[in-house]
Amino acid sequence: VVLTLQNGLGNAAALRSALIHDGVRPHVWLGVTTQAAVRPEPGTIVHTAAGITAIGRRSTEVTSHLRDIASALTSAGLQTVAVEDIHRWVWRKLAVNAAINPLTALAGVTNAAIDRDPDLRVAAELLASEVIAVANAAGVTIDRQEVLAAVDAVARTTGENRSSMLVDLESGTRTEIDAINGAVVAEAARHRLRAPANQLMTALVHARERDAGRRPGADGFVPDTPDTPDTPDDLAGVVA
């Protein structure tokens, strides 16, 4: 069993493909975490805010194995719950990441700016609203007010943090944009929807990555996302 706590969509499919052995694919469980940390220098991680970690599997069953893993993580100091609706957790976290990460990265500001700056607040709400619409189209119902409240809460509680996407751009490292905003655009297209704000963020971050030599080509926006996103309708045989 492999448990992924990575941001965005498509992680389970990517792991199953990468870790296939003798024709056998591993069981991959999904998880999200709101634990906050910063990396002030290579090899150093500073925990800046306590959060909660949720783990789950494709089926709605919470097995004893899943509960045991949650209990072990909690005992180690990382509060963890085993949940039936992991896809809602994944999409809610995706909405928060899509709203905060590219804006802070492109504006060069800490997370607190999302809560304090009126223009960034409007932009974050627009980005999150597109994610909510796409999630609902994909069969995952998430509440708009709950998501917007989560964006505000994360911006406040991790206010002094520099998002991972900002750190990646500043260090010339390729970002998670394709698994976050790019994945929203790709999933929207699957349902004949558009997510123009998320597409704009993706294109702008791609441009910054190309400028740093971390992304080849300059022929426009093509979301570099897995063919199989981690959504309920597409998880059969992807997440066990």
Name the nearest CA neighbour of 87 among 187, 192, 210. 187
Q: Give pLDDT tens digits for 140-164.
A: 999 999 999 999 999 998 888 899 9
Which ranges constitute the DSSP H helices of the chain?
Answer: 11-18, 64-75, 86-107, 112-116, 118-137, 144-157, 164-171, 181-190, 196-211
Q: What's the pTM? A: 0.84
Q: How many CB atoms lie within 10 A of CB 76?
A: 9
Q: Which fold has domain 2-234?
A: N-(1-d-carboxylethyl)-l-norvaline Dehydrogenase; domain 2 (1.10.1040)
Go through the chain and tell me how many residues it has. Answer: 240
Q: Whole-angstrom Cα distance, residue 162 to residue 158?
A: 9
Residues noted as catalytic: 93
Name beta bridge partners: 44: 41
**Domain ranges (residues) in the chain:** 2-234
Q: Give pLDDT tens digits for 77-124.
A: 999 999 998 999 999 999 999 999 999 999 999 999 999 999 999 999
